Amino acid sequence: MKTPLDRVSLSRRDFIGRISLGAAAVSLSSRLRAADAVAPKKLGIALAGLGSYARGQLLPALKNHTQHCRLAGVVTGSKEKGLQWSKDHGFPEKNIYSYDTMQQMADNPEIDIVYVATPNALHAQHSIAAAKAGKHVICEKPMAISVVECDAMIAACRAANVKLSIGYRLHFDPFHQELKRHAREKDFGPFMKITGANGFNMQRKVWRADHKLSGGGPLMDMGVYCLHEACLATDGATPVAVTAREHPKTRPEIFADVEEGLDWTMEFANGAKAEFMSSYSRNDGWFRAEAEKDFMAFSPAFSYNGLKVTTSQGPLNLTPVPSQQAIQMDDFAQCVRDNRQTIVPGELGRRDMLVVEAIYKAIRTGQRTVVAA
């Protein structure tokens, strides 16, 4: 079929039509060129702490899945490891930093975001150093080992005018987003009874069982998922009070200075109650939220993939995402680029730390403990 542009002789109308088609084509092609020219660059992430989470989850996410950010550098205590990463993953040697040289990142425009994945007790120090270098921060959970540290991190990021986010990857998982939606829209009614457990069997003493690096045992590590998820199931509420009991130590040689396991409860202002268990001596990972008649049950609940969810209305058939971490990092990169607030800000990490502190106090005192405001 011929278009007006194919005609040999042109009427005035054809001529105008041709001009405007031509103009549209020019404008479309210049828009495409402009889009090319201004295609936003991927933001550069430096991973701080090249341990199992960085290596096993964050690196593959950045290499294979992210669209808005890329691996641009590392912060590591080992120069050799840094050189190997630079060679293997294609960033320049100048983008290797040590924990003591993080302030020099201020002069490096290739790094926009520092992702802190070091032991818990170092999160505050490393996040604050990144903020002081003018870099946006993603910090792994638990945010820190005390509310005081969380406050210092939030203040440092505010003072430096950078964003702070916590690695709560499950907010970016479709199954957990469905829990969040139910909690918000209450199509099952409010979830009033929440239960779950999360743990693994630790075979030998590592920093996670060393109080000065971890700040506590499984509560700080696996338990945080349960308590965070309970707050999510109650539509973002903070519990008002907790009770807690430490498990007897069966392997004191490993768990001399942190709990080996614990049970705890959380009460919410609307009357909802949560009961959880977390342990370094048992493999577990399930979560259940019950409304008056309906429920959602997750098992496995907290893994990187392979989540399974049943509800009172049948199984939840959602397409799993290839990488929760990639979506989480991409979302943060877009928050930075568009100057919008992340859905997992430092304030959420601080809220969880308030609950953690109340739970440890309840263990020490044996009393029901009010969560500080």
Q: Which residues are catalytic?
A: 141, 225
50 vs 327 by CB, closer to ligand NAD: 50
Nearest to 224, CA basis, from 172, 182, 166: 166
If the CB atoms of residues 299 and 303 are measured against ligand NAD, the closer one turns out to be 303
The answer to whether residue 239 forms part of the interface with ligand NAD (CB under 6 A) is no
- Using CA atoms, how far apart are residues 213 and 194, in angstroms rounded to an integer? 30
Nearer to ligand NAD, 54 or 230 (CB): 54
Long-range pairs of 119-123 with CB within 8 A, sequence gap ≥ 24: 119/49, 119/207, 119/208, 119/213, 119/214, 120/144, 120/145, 120/213, 120/214, 120/215, 120/220, 120/221, 121/145, 121/212, 121/213, 121/214, 121/215, 122/49, 122/213, 123/149, 123/153
We find the least distance from the C-beta atom of residue 3 to ligand NAD, in angstroms, to be 56
Residue 119 in the binding site for ligand NAD (CB under 6 A): yes
Q: Which two tokens stand for residue 330?
A: 């991409």
Is 213 near ligand NAD (CB under 6 A)? yes
List residues bridging with 97 in a β-sheet: 75
Per-residue binding letters, 25-64, with ligand NAD (x by CB under 6 A):
------------------------xxxxxx----------
Q: In the bound complex, which residue of the shown chain has the CB atom lying closest to ligand NAD?
A: 51
**Number of chain positions touching ligand NAD (CB under 6 A):** 19
Query: What is d(CA 147, CA 358) in angstroms, rounded to the nearest whole number?
Result: 11
Q: Which is nearer to ligand NAD, 165 or 195 (CB)?
A: 165
| Number of residues written out for the chain | 373
Of 73, 82, 167, 218, the one binding ligand NAD (CB under 6 A) is 167
Instruction: Give min distance, CB of 17 to ligand NAD, in A.
Output: 58
Residue carrying structure tokens 């946006």 = 136
Q: How far is the CB of 76 from ligand NAD (least distance, A)?
A: 7
Note whether 356 binds ligand NAD by CB under 6 A: no
140 touches ligand NAD (CB under 6 A): yes
Distance CA 320, CA 175 (A): 8
**x-marked contacts with ligand NAD along 68-107 as a string, rule CB under 6 A:** ---------x------------------------------
Q: Judged by CB, which is closer to ligand NAD: 228, or 369?
A: 228
Which of 68, 169, 350, 351 lies at the binding interface for ligand NAD (CB under 6 A)? Answer: 169
- Backbone φ and ψ of 200, nearest 5°: -150, 165
Q: What angle do CA 193, 195, 200 make, to 5 degrees?
A: 170
Site of interaction with ligand NAD (CB under 6 A): 49-54, 77, 117-120, 122, 140-141, 167, 169, 207, 213, 221
